[in-house]
Structure 1
């Protein structure tokens, strides 16, 4: 049976897919540098490990209205014919093998009418969901003035020089994409851009670690990116009768049943209403997958191992922390997910549940 892998993602409540073979990497939206005289859909450029990469907002490229970006938007880096280009989307989901027979070329209904047709190869039905499949060749083609602008930027940028970076136009990126960005949000996006400038050699040399920073009850915690499958919205879930308070319920994630847990009580954060949680961090530990309910995804960042503080006081409060780091004047506790998930109190006693 003829199948092809597609990376699935969402934008403005619509679902899209693009050939997974051209996807190079994915990361949270960083601060970009706006350039003059570029196509209107290219909202800025990014210094990605010493290579200048233009970044387009997919809404503009598809001819749709531009909506304000969010701090948890993603940039997907595509490579086609030696060309690297980034696209801004709302949420990245998964790589899915799609059968050719599940794809139709009838593009005559719904929101698709508003999209420029040269960018669409068809519509796929995946688990009762319509996926708009994008034509990556047409999507990544852009005008010669982008090449000229990038060449000019490469002359200005001395990698790692903040003084030279400040000569470039960063304010226009915010006025276009994040007009209501607070100083705290700008600081987070700037730190992301700084981390992306690190070469892979620097990453290994300095022993950098990548974490997702989450918030719980107004405190900040870090989870290793190696353990995170994805983040998703907490919309619908089914409570499980006769379970302890930390078992929130089950949710259906694209056909997979995921058990949701609230780790607040194990971190001595006190009780909170389930309705206060907005998102879910899907974590995988070996073959075990679960969802941790959280308030927000604050950032994805890197830190040097030597910057961690191992001296953790109050053993009962910090027994599930590996270390702490200070970032942007916030103390972040690095969670020991393996220890937390495998501890006995988290496991539901099936016999007790039946008795109930």
Structure 2
């Protein structure tokens, strides 16, 4: 059973989910430039570090019109990247990351719902942007298919600029005396200034290492300290139950656990990091990680957040002060809690969990 981490966000009172591994960047809504010759849901473009990024409004895409462009300074842009394809999605609020199993996603709507749809709704192709539906904590989540969404809006519906003077190859209506589109016309002068400053900051050229993309990290807690772990190696989070001790193993090998028929070895990395270990077995959660062919459960105290970190924000640990713990750290960075903006910023250590898991000391020797 395959599981994936999905970034949840809200728009128009509805909750959506998108594969968090495709999320490249998240930032507050800047001023965007409207496009007159494009699909209605493609509300504009912006200059993101010398690269033009298309921004879409899912409300308009799904037929919930927003004719006044009534956006606010609290809205957010989520940049989704799939290979060399990028798309900005305008959302109202970014929520937590949820681990969802494929088995929990319903791919098709019930037939009784489909037969009640108006004929014109059945013929539209915008429903292909929804890959399925999942119920999390009694709430229905709509899972986006970013590739279908982008291909439909950008590749097919938007006319391509060419040297040809023939512009009659698309179906968008041309109305006389159309108003010139204006981004967020109801914004106050102060809000408009904020939008413009954000756009100017995003346009600014950055160093080469900053252009390589953001790092996706899961923020976990161990003994009151904050650690960042590469999201790409996290398979899921689970509760710890029915652990079977393994004889003749180091103290940090806690035991085996049956995870839906798969035997997973639990590891307490706190001893390796020089932190006090949980000798009483009070920890209740584990992160199931996979590095190559190695699958293990890493015991954690807390699971705080998924964050996206610019590599340029990482501070390396000085070589002169290296300790046993620092051997397994990539560096440190400031962690800002998006769920609680008023909270004080914390220092987060970036774990090289891959290096920890390939140690010979983590190999369970069953012959002893």
- TM-score, length basis structure 1: 0.48
| Larger helix proportion of the pair | 1
Larger Rg: 2
TM-score by length of 2: 0.47
